[in-house]
Structure 1
Amino acid sequence: MARAGGIPGFDGEVAPQIAFLEGRHADRRTLARASRLARRWNADPEQVLIRCGWVSQGTYYRALAAHLGLAFSGLQDARLDESALAGTPETSIAAADLVPVIDAGGNKCLALAPRGAGLRALIAMSARPDAGAHLRQRLVITTPAHLADLAIAQRGEELSAHACGNLLKTAPECSAASGLTLAQKLGLAGAALALAAGLALYPLMTLAGLNVVLAGIFACVGASRAGAALAVLEEVRAAAREAASLGERDLPVYTLLVPLFREAAVLPHLVAALQALDYPKAKLDIKLILEAEDLDTRKAAARLALPGCFHIIVVPPSQPQTKPKALNFALAFARGSLVAIYDAEDRPDPGQLRRAAAAFANGGETLACVQGRLGFYNAGRNWLTRQFAIEYCALFDALLPALHALRLPIPLGGTSNHFRRDILEEVGGWDPHNVTEDADLGFRLARRGYHVASLNSQTLEEACERLPQWLGQRTRWLKGWIQTYFVHMRQPLRALHELGPLGFAALNILIGGMVLSALVHPLFVALIGAKLVSGALAADPASLGGWWLAALNVWNLTIGYAAAMLLAWIGLGIAGRRGLRRALVWMPFYWLLISLAAYRALWDYARRPFHWEKTEHGAPRFRLAGAQRLFWRNGRLAE
């Protein structure tokens, strides 16, 4: 037989890995089409057939077993052969295609779900006259899904322990699990005592000094926004020089991790959005990650006719019950060299995976992650969603691209992160105890010598339309930023050495400074408001209410608002959301809501630092038809 496209035994029509399906399970036209796509994509023909949904995984492997004269097993009554697996890491078992098992009758055998080169070798071996009896004694055929289910059923506790404790075990200084260090507790207690003593002994001087210090921090945050507004202009020009796209044969296998909890209502919309991605289906490995207790979402997923590129992973109960723990658990089952994260309500640009793959191919060995740009499909619903959309444009279309241009650490967003899997595993994955695992991971990557790039491709999300929903989500975000700041400031000199002066400044301004500025913002507003009402702006300079201190606060607020509005103005222009610019005038009031969330976050951090406050999705006025009619141009929503 001739060879074509690197597929051994290809006869120009139907590849031998799928030829035995002809007649009963698939017609020759479908098999020939799968074989042609396999050659075009540089993929395995059986994966084309299964992942495109033309033949189910179960049908294929049952037919393969019959073709080879081997038994097929769903492994329902089997158990892992622990004696043969002694010393094998649970993560290796999760990803294996061949696992030693003991069947219901106590017989030891090898459960095999062959694919790729292993499948070709098995078919070739079975053709030898002396191989049949030997193979029948040793092998049973099963599906990859059955192997994964067996690994979870038998090693779920160990996999959960790895997901929860790997970072704490390998790099305890990077884990939020241990909370504040003794030095940090003593430092905070000492600062509180010093402040109390100052207020008791020299109240006016202490308040004035505290005012100046906080004003300085607020000014640094404002200056960083102004600097970002200038830097992003160069990044916009650089983004126009997008990396050359990869040919379909060169595209890698891509794993999408999609953690879901109480998302039954939006699941069909999510599946439709992921199926719309423009990427070879044979190279897509989509993991829908469900919690064992979430029966509604599990039932909703079971009702969907999911094609073979989807795989449902059920995470066993364990604490903490957080998104990063679920991601770590599912990462052990990933097949791709690239990994992306999406949330339940996401609607990614269909070309995003291709753009990300090209960015990695051209980004050098230290490029560990690319961050997609986030926006909202319901930005115009009400005042709150408009302000939220403005904030997102300032962050993802202006600030993060500016940090990319300056090669500074980027605090990642919680979705549309794309990683090199080997680097992600090298740095320990996500911190399951950090409720903003994304921001933490961005700085951890920077400390290990890697960098993050901003990807000129948008993913649309659902903005919170109700204040309680928004407040809960923002409280969790700010609590996670508090966690992230204290984790990375456990050893300040080491952080300075690993991040460099500018990176260290970014940590203190973007993470610590942003939280602190949210806490002090209402105090400045109240102080200035009180002075205006009392007419004391021109009081005696020697007093606490002196004009110089009031002028400093007014100047700080003015510059802070102006810098933030400038950054948002630029971001709205880049994102094509110029119609929202008229709503910028309301930004100071939105900041007061952020301040409320910051105080809630501080209280929540003290009481329950690892609690994950769930954001409910599925806005009642949003309809699937609207999402599916989204029109994309150059990675952006075209309005």
Structure 2
Amino acid sequence: MTITKEWLIQLAKKHGVADATKLESPQVTFQNFIFKLRENRYEVDEGFFTELADALGLQYIPREELKTDLAVTIPYLLLKENLLLPFSISKGKVKIATANPFNSDFFKVLESLFGAGVEVCVASIEAVEEAIDKGYSEIHERRALKELRYRSPDESAYRVLYPWQRVLILCFIILFSVLFVLNYPLSFIILFSLINIVYFCVNPVKFYIAFKGFRGSRRVVNVSSKDVKNLREKDLPVYTILVPVYREAKALRHVLKNIYNLDYPKEKLDVKILIEEKDDETLGEARKLGLFGNPEVIVAPPGLFGRTAMDANSLSPSMRILDPSGFLIGTLEEVILSEDPSETFLKLRTASGRAMEIPLSFVGKVRDVILLKDSIDRLTWRYKEFLKIFDPVIVPDADIRTKPRACNYGLLRARGEYCVIYDAEDDPEPDQLKKAVIAFSRASMDVICLQSRLNYYNPKENLLTRWFSLEYSFWYDYYLEGLDQVDGVIPLGGTSNHFRTQQLKELGGWDPYNMTEDADLGVRISRRGKKTAMLNSYTYEEANSRLGSWIRQRSRWNKGYIQTYLVHMRHPRKLIKDLGWRKFLLFQLTFGGNIYLPLINPLLWAVTISTLLVPGLFQFLFFYPLNYICATNLLIGNLVYIGLHMGPFILKKNYTSIPLALAIPLYWVLISIGCWRGLLQLMRKPFYWEKTEHGISKLHSLLKKQR
């Protein structure tokens, strides 16, 4: 039988494709027809492939029989791209299962590779992709955890301290203890002097970097809205989005909505939702939302079902829900499905922002139930089409469960030319991916990472979130841009890092043993002679609004910073060779300063307060010229730091937040608590990932209003 494109289109329509418009394009031939089915995310039932196999006289392999250990003989992405799987070897022939039996050129490559003939069998797209994923699951699990450790053991945090580092720290503790016993005033004088000299050296450098940041950065490109509008969407590459969602059941609906809001061709998104195998709560929520199987709840991102006004009897044209008299009830957020329309409920958001749940029968009259059921069916179909952009990935369990390990697992399966990592609560600006594509296209190839600006969508929730926002505005809007200006090492933020995918893989991905894998990766990028640049696009996160949760998050960050510093100081001479003397010294004063300043602050505060309460108690510490150094650190240092944190809000004319900067020394106390807690935890549980709880903000459901 002669197979033609027209015959394949009719077969597809027979087995589930309602609208075959995209398949009728002249660019679609019978040779690439199956690939276009997959590219456009058409769903065809198993009957399509059984009939295709019969027409070609080939054996059909059911899903349950498609099990093999031969998958790893060919690179993962090559198998996925060509939709085939080596199945068995017998009688001098390699038996392969493929969803595209017309891929004759690649079959010849396989014959050359195996040195044997190829026997082609047919299987469905879903069966082949599932078998490839299972075949590579074990090796990807191992590589996600151990690749960097085996490839570059000196750059992995799997060992907290090298022997010489341990000996050096112990010697310092012993010497100081002996000195304290023999002459405790002298020990205090030495310690206090060293601390103030360190501060005196660090402060001017950090001030200079901050002032450079206020003047603007050397970022790769300042991408404008006009640049974005001039992009041709057909030329855009596939973009991988990695979203680790460990214990993020509450935030999963938020993830779906914000990914939908991205202004990027949906067929060119490769969205990996990374779910830990033992995370039953998040897996359950994913199943409920339809990421696995049929949905029980429909999440309604704005615009998914249209934007025109809705009458009382239709749900599909828009999200505005009216009662039978025409009164606006609210905006549709979710639909809780049931076979019985009387048990189907709508979750709405009223104009005042109040959540509301009403039965579907309330929206229309009883005689219109059939019409309403039809509307729900159409809404469900559109929602399922939307879900096709997501690729939920179950990350196999391992000794440690960390965000970087999950990201490594997703990276090994990433199809995109570029990739970005978003946290579950992130709300990136819609055009961020397009801006990143433009920036990469204009940058030199040694720029392998773009760091978006970060801030919070709930900055005014309470005093803690206001301080947190002050810190973030200074850090991401100006300080990192200053580091870019002086060509310093840029520690990445934990989210909205955009990468050239292949070069990220060549770096070894993230360190799964490091609690600030982002900062560590920024250092490794610099050590390889590569560059990170800032991108003029914002991602909004949820600021921790609870003190306990904030302390735990800050403890993990500081623990990771200490890990990163210890890792890269294992071989100081090698670090100097990689960075050069200038950048090495900047690394000590900036990255190192962010570690030891919060640790030593409590001693300085204790001396200052004690001196004020009991004059003369520590008089022996203040001698010329140390007394002038101390006064400079205390007065000028604190005033400049406070002024720098005011700066972003003065430039943005957000004057109501400026008074909070005057009280920011109280926030520094919290930072020191978190830093000491992180240091102590590093000694006891170095690889324990203290999860930050998301979805707890009172403003979590009102993101757009908070912008």
The normalised TM-score by structure 1 is 0.83
Q: Secondary structure at the match of 1:139?
A: strand
| Counterpart residue type for residue 382 of structure 1 | N
Q: Is 1:182–2:182 an aligned residue pair?
A: no
Q: Secondary structure at the match of 1:395?
A: helix
1:100 to partner: Cα distance = 1.2
Counterparts of 2:433 and 2:137, CA distance in 1: 30
The structure-2 alpha-carbon separation of the partners of 1:171 and 1:238, relative to structure 1 and needing over 3 Å to count, comes to: closer
Equivalent position to 2:534, from 443, 451, 454: 454
The structure-2 alpha-carbon separation of the partners of 1:390 and 1:64, relative to structure 1 and needing over 3 Å to count, comes to: farther
Length, aligned pairs only: 588
| Counterpart residue type for residue 255 of structure 1 | T
- The aligned counterpart of 2:271 is 286
| Equivalences for residues 425-440 of structure 1 within 5 A | 425-440=505-520
1:343 to partner: Cα distance = 0.6
Counterparts of 2:625 and 2:640, CA distance in 1: 22
Counterparts of 1:108 and 1:487, CA distance in 2: 47
1:570 to partner: Cα distance = 2.9
Counterparts of 2:205 and 2:7, CA distance in 1: 61
- The aligned counterpart of 2:66 is 78
The answer on whether the counterparts of 1:239 and 1:456 sit within 8 Å (CA) in structure 2 is no
Q: Is 1:341–2:421 an aligned residue pair?
A: yes
Equivalent position to 1:319, from 387, 399, 411: 399
The answer on whether the counterparts of 2:83 and 2:129 sit within 8 Å (CA) in structure 1 is no
| Equivalences for residues 484-563 of structure 1 within 5 A | 484-536=564-616, 543-546=620-623, 549-563=626-640
Equivalent position to 1:483, from 549, 557, 563: 563
1:74 to partner: Cα distance = 6.1
The answer on whether the counterparts of 1:528 and 1:554 sit within 8 Å (CA) in structure 2 is no
Q: Is 1:375–2:455 an aligned residue pair?
A: yes
Counterparts of 1:335 and 1:15, CA distance in 2: 30
Q: Is 1:138–2:120 an aligned residue pair?
A: yes
Equivalent position to 2:246, from 231, 236, 261: 261
Q: Is 1:25–2:16 an aligned residue pair?
A: yes
- The aligned counterpart of 1:401 is 481
The answer on whether the counterparts of 1:394 and 1:572 sit within 8 Å (CA) in structure 2 is no
- The unaligned stretches of length 5 or more in structure 2 are 108-116, 292-386
| Counterpart residue type for residue 388 of structure 2 | G
Q: Secondary structure at the match of 1:21?
A: helix
Counterparts of 1:282 and 1:369, CA distance in 2: 24
| Counterpart residue type for residue 365 of structure 1 | M
Q: Please give the per-residue CA displacement for 1:531-557, whole angstroms capped at 9, x wherever unaligned.
A: 1112239x86xx225586455334213
1:351 to partner: Cα distance = 0.4
Counterparts of 2:7 and 2:183, CA distance in 1: 87
The structure-2 alpha-carbon separation of the partners of 1:136 and 1:367, relative to structure 1 and needing over 3 Å to count, comes to: closer
Q: Please give the per-residue CA displacement for 1:370-400, whole angstroms capped at 9, x wherever unaligned.
A: 0111111111110111111111111111111
- The aligned counterpart of 1:605 is 682
The answer on whether the counterparts of 1:349 and 1:458 sit within 8 Å (CA) in structure 2 is yes
Q: Is 1:211–2:192 an aligned residue pair?
A: yes
| Equivalences for residues 79-98 of structure 1 within 5 A | 79-82=67-70, 85=72, 97-98=83-84
In terms of Rg, which structure is larger? 2
1:185 to partner: Cα distance = 1.0
Q: Secondary structure at the match of 2:20?
A: helix
1:341 to partner: Cα distance = 0.2
- The aligned counterpart of 1:588 is 665
| Equivalences for residues 164-183 of structure 1 within 5 A | 164-183=145-164
Equivalent position to 2:548, from 468, 473, 484: 468
The structure-2 alpha-carbon separation of the partners of 1:85 and 1:487, relative to structure 1 and needing over 3 Å to count, comes to: closer
Counterparts of 1:100 and 1:158, CA distance in 2: 17
Tell which deviates more after alignment, 574-583 or 555-564. 574-583
The answer on whether the counterparts of 1:71 and 1:140 sit within 8 Å (CA) in structure 2 is yes
1:527 to partner: Cα distance = 0.6
Counterparts of 1:547 and 1:154, CA distance in 2: 71
Q: Secondary structure at the match of 1:80?
A: coil
The structure-2 alpha-carbon separation of the partners of 1:60 and 1:364, relative to structure 1 and needing over 3 Å to count, comes to: farther
- The unaligned stretches of length 5 or more in structure 1 are 1-8, 126-134, 631-636
- The aligned counterpart of 2:96 is 110
Counterparts of 2:653 and 2:500, CA distance in 1: 30
The structure-2 alpha-carbon separation of the partners of 1:555 and 1:120, relative to structure 1 and needing over 3 Å to count, comes to: farther
Q: Secondary structure at the match of 1:235?
A: coil
1:187 to partner: Cα distance = 1.3
Counterparts of 2:665 and 2:6, CA distance in 1: 64
Q: Is 1:63–2:56 an aligned residue pair?
A: no
Counterparts of 1:136 and 1:529, CA distance in 2: 81
Q: Is 1:200–2:181 an aligned residue pair?
A: yes
1:180 to partner: Cα distance = 0.9
1:572 to partner: Cα distance = 3.5
Q: Please give the per-residue CA displacement for 1:13-54, whole angstroms capped at 9, x wherever unaligned.
A: x99986753466344xx4336777989xxxx9977876776x
Q: Please give the per-residue CA displacement for 1:557-590, whole angstroms capped at 9, x wherever unaligned.
A: 3333233333323334566755422211121000
Q: Is 1:332–2:317 an aligned residue pair?
A: no
Counterparts of 1:564 and 1:113, CA distance in 2: 62
Q: Secondary structure at the match of 1:312?
A: strand
The answer on whether the counterparts of 2:549 and 2:693 sit within 8 Å (CA) in structure 1 is yes
The answer on whether the counterparts of 2:15 and 2:48 sit within 8 Å (CA) in structure 1 is no
Counterparts of 2:412 and 2:652, CA distance in 1: 36
Counterparts of 1:124 and 1:427, CA distance in 2: 30
Counterparts of 1:15 and 1:459, CA distance in 2: 46
The answer on whether the counterparts of 2:240 and 2:418 sit within 8 Å (CA) in structure 1 is yes
The structure-2 alpha-carbon separation of the partners of 1:99 and 1:124, relative to structure 1 and needing over 3 Å to count, comes to: closer
Q: Secondary structure at the match of 1:138?
A: strand
- The aligned counterpart of 1:633 is none
Counterparts of 1:372 and 1:563, CA distance in 2: 26
Q: Secondary structure at the match of 2:489?
A: coil
Counterparts of 2:202 and 2:102, CA distance in 1: 59
Q: Secondary structure at the match of 1:561?
A: helix
- The aligned counterpart of 2:316 is none
- The aligned counterpart of 1:6 is none
The structure-2 alpha-carbon separation of the partners of 1:431 and 1:240, relative to structure 1 and needing over 3 Å to count, comes to: closer
1:233 to partner: Cα distance = 2.9
- The aligned counterpart of 1:249 is 234
Q: Please give the per-residue CA displacement for 1:294-346, whole angstroms capped at 9, x wherever unaligned.
A: 11211211222452221011011112211111111111111011110001101
The structure-2 alpha-carbon separation of the partners of 1:618 and 1:193, relative to structure 1 and needing over 3 Å to count, comes to: same
The normalised TM-score by structure 2 is 0.76
The answer on whether the counterparts of 1:37 and 1:48 sit within 8 Å (CA) in structure 2 is no
Q: Please give the per-residue CA displacement for 1:205-243, whole angstroms capped at 9, x wherever unaligned.
A: 332222122112223442233112221133269788437
- The aligned counterpart of 1:276 is 261
Q: Is 1:233–2:219 an aligned residue pair?
A: no
- The aligned counterpart of 1:130 is none
The answer on whether the counterparts of 2:49 and 2:99 sit within 8 Å (CA) in structure 1 is no
Counterparts of 2:653 and 2:452, CA distance in 1: 16
The structure-2 alpha-carbon separation of the partners of 1:407 and 1:548, relative to structure 1 and needing over 3 Å to count, comes to: closer
1:111 to partner: Cα distance = 2.7
| Equivalences for residues 566-585 of structure 1 within 5 A | 566-573=643-650, 578-585=655-662
| Counterpart residue type for residue 366 of structure 1 | D
The answer on whether the counterparts of 1:496 and 1:504 sit within 8 Å (CA) in structure 2 is yes
The answer on whether the counterparts of 1:109 and 1:138 sit within 8 Å (CA) in structure 2 is yes
* RMSD of equivalent CA atoms: 3.4
The structure-2 alpha-carbon separation of the partners of 1:388 and 1:146, relative to structure 1 and needing over 3 Å to count, comes to: farther
Q: Is 1:350–2:350 an aligned residue pair?
A: no
The structure-2 alpha-carbon separation of the partners of 1:96 and 1:196, relative to structure 1 and needing over 3 Å to count, comes to: farther
